Amino acid sequence: MDPKTHALFVERARIIKALAHPSRLYIVDRLSQREHCVQELAELVNADISTVSRHLSILKNVDIVKDEKRGTKVFYSLHTPCVLNFFGCVEKVIKSSARERADLLEKES
Amino acid sequence: MDPKTHALFVERARIIKALAHPSRLYIVDRLSQREHCVQELAELVNADISTVSRHLSILKNVDIVKDEKRGTKVFYSLHTPCVLNFFGCVEKVIKSSARERADLLEKES
DNA sequence: TGGCTATTTGGTTAAATTGCCAAATATGGC
DNA sequence: GCCATATTTGGCAATTTAACCAAATAGCCA
């Protein structure tokens, strides 16, 4: 693999890695409805505020979300909404594997 | 967050995690063109065969790829090609952040 | 300035991921 | 059965990730 191709796939993985966590996926899901401040998100994902703040900085580092400070609060919103397209395919994968497990069960019975 | 919702996002993250590695993304990319045996993939990603075998088992665990044994070789192919849709959005994210870095540079100059 | 609220960051620990080597396993041909 | 080829798996060390608490920072208002 030539260096440029390698760099491209490293970069792609960097983006996908940022999404590869249940809390971060849920945060993205909530932000797809409307902006939220850190505190609100912490309640939604039911985790320590500092933990959520770290999740948000990971998402911000790859520009999936953006932040805007208003007063003492920081409001986060989706910067690249197309990441929501991921979910559609992910559901397909889940269903496909669920179907296979079901098929397998039928054959076994 | 209720338990069902939580389980859904854990499951989604499981799928996305399986893709969150440069070598695995490259493997998916190659398999989108045609099936390959483990040896071929090891050469393509330039890694130890055992390492590639582990990457493949990770992808297989979430049903992104499937395998078929023929003789002593095991051929892998894409089982859920829609994961390729991920790439389109990932490129957008990359470009969007690249654009912003560019804008930032302009403003600074 | 001092106090209050909201968020980020440092430090630490536990857990998960990755990669390689070596050993085990499976298949086909002699 | 025995050998050669192809793949998987066990074991280990190094790196990364994740979570929490505590401390630092930032903005607002009295």
Cα B36 to Cα B46: distance, rounded to the nearest angstrom: 14
CA–CA dist A34, A77 (Å, integer): 7
CA→C1' distance for B23 and D13 (Å): 21
To the nearest 10 degrees (0 to 180), the angle between helices A49-61 and A38-45 is 110
What is the predicted pLDDT for the residue at A60?
96
Q: In Å, how far is A84's CA from the nearest CA of chain B?
A: 9
For strand D, list residues 80-109 of chain A whose Cβ lies within 7 Å of it: none
Residue A108 has pLDDT above 80, yes or no: no
pLDDT bracket for residue A104 (50, 70, 90): low
Both tokens assigned to A99:
């179907």
Q: What angle do CA B58, B64, B66 make, to 5 degrees?
A: 85
Q: Which architecture, in CATH terms, is A3-82?
A: Orthogonal Bundle (1.10)
Q: How far is residue B9's CA from residue B35's CA, in Å, rounded to a whole number?
A: 31
Among candidate residues A70, A71, A74, A85, the one with its CA nearest the CA of residue A29:
A85
**Is 80 exceeded by the pLDDT of residue A98?**
no
Fold of the CATH domain B3-80: Arc Repressor Mutant, subunit A (1.10.10)
Query: Where along chain A do its domains lie?
Result: 3-82
Give me the residues paired with residue B77 across strands. B66
Given a cut of 70, whether residue B3 has pLDDT beyond it is yes
Asked whether strand C has any atom less than 7 Å from the CB of B14, the reply is no
Among the partner-chain residues A9, A13, A100, the one whose CB lies closest to the CB of B63 is A100
Query: Hey, CA dihedral for A9, A13, A16, A18, is it positive or negative?
Result: negative
Averaged pLDDT for residues B18-38: 97
Residue A99 burial (C-beta neighbours within 10 Å; 0-12, 13-18, 19+): exposed
pLDDT digits (tens, 9 = 90+) for B97-109: 777 777 766 655 4
The dihedral through the CA atoms of B59, B45, B38, B29 has a sign that is: positive
Task: Report, as an integer, the average pLDDT of B61-66.
Answer: 95
Contacts of B17 in chain A (CB under 8 A): 20-21
> What does the pLDDT look like over A7-48, one tens digit per residue?
999 999 999 999 999 999 999 999 999 999 999 999 999 999
Residues B22, A16: C-beta atoms closer than 8 Å: no
